[in-house]
Copies of this chain bind each other. A is one copy, B any other.
């Protein structure tokens, strides 16, 4: 019997992916030249599909990199001369901050408890870029969209970057109120890992051009200018991860066919089932107290020490793989992915198995 993966990424493949991979083999997608007509067509269709699925404005650019981590580095290089501001509520927002420091920037951080209240960020006058993590894969905390939009409304001249690595395409983001959005494909898109996507506003692009013209190090191949030059021809700078680009095109089409509203609604329904279950079930505690700050795509619960052997047994018996806590919480928490690959039935199976035990 096949396993079901509730790990927060890499995770369960979206149901259509294995068949798309077989088609890719059959149609020689992995042997075709990345400088030819067929690849250009795939990239053009992928750009169109992403624009339609996520409602990306026409004047925003879509660039492909190799991971969410690379997206952070590319974002800092291309949008920050000196000063970035970070809201840190977990390991991935912290990584964004560290990357800015590693690149020699003056990176200011507002560090909050994952489980704390989120107050409006107080920016210093010289801040050039606000860096937020919409969905903290490490803690299961999610920033309310209104919080993000208010930040932009209150700081219209400061660029705003949002890490949506583990919430896109669940999150229905108004791109007009943000400047940089990035995600990777092994989370909610249900694809094999090895591809990141960055969406860039005209203001962010202008900033990158300004930095390049003034001899700041915006990177070589993956400067926004270099990425744009290739993207405009429906090309990539380097030989890319062709398989993942092909698969991303195919699943965005599948999502469009199925209906993005339906998929988003199902995600919320599954999150409700999970949060309701853990609220009632002894032996578990939902980690994030404030309902407004709870992730819809990564549900994190504390587990009482004496229950781990039972949980491992349940996983083994039922071919389930549930994510463990991040870093120091490895043996303290479960992280349960609730992505598009997971059906309501999958989630109901999971809760039914966890329910039968007396913790």
A positions within 8 Å CB-CB of B: 2-3, 5, 7, 9-13, 18, 21-22, 25, 28, 30-34, 65-70, 72-73, 76, 98-99, 102-104, 184, 186, 192-195, 215, 217, 219-221, 223, 237-244, 321, 323
Contacts and interface: CB of A to CB of B under 8 A. Distances in A.
A271 to B, nearest CB: 21
B33 A241 contact: no
Chain A binding surface, main DSSP class: loop
Nearest to A33: B7
Nearest to A191: B30
A229 to B, nearest CB: 12
B3 A31 contact: yes
A71 B179 CA distance: 29
B66 A66 contact: yes
Given A30-B192, A194-B241, 19 more contacts: A3-B28, A5-B31, A9-B239, A10-B242, A18-B25, A30-B193, A65-B66, A66-B194, A67-B240, A72-B220, A73-B220, A98-B220, A102-B219, A192-B241, A193-B239, A193-B242, A194-B194, A194-B195, A217-B217
A240 B68 CA distance: 10
Copies of this protein in the assembly total 2
Nearest to A187: B239
A238 to B, nearest CB: 4
A239 B192 contact: no
Of listed A68, A220, A223, residue having the most chain B CB within 10 A: A220
A303 to B, nearest CB: 17
A340 to B, nearest CB: 14
A3 B30 CA distance: 12
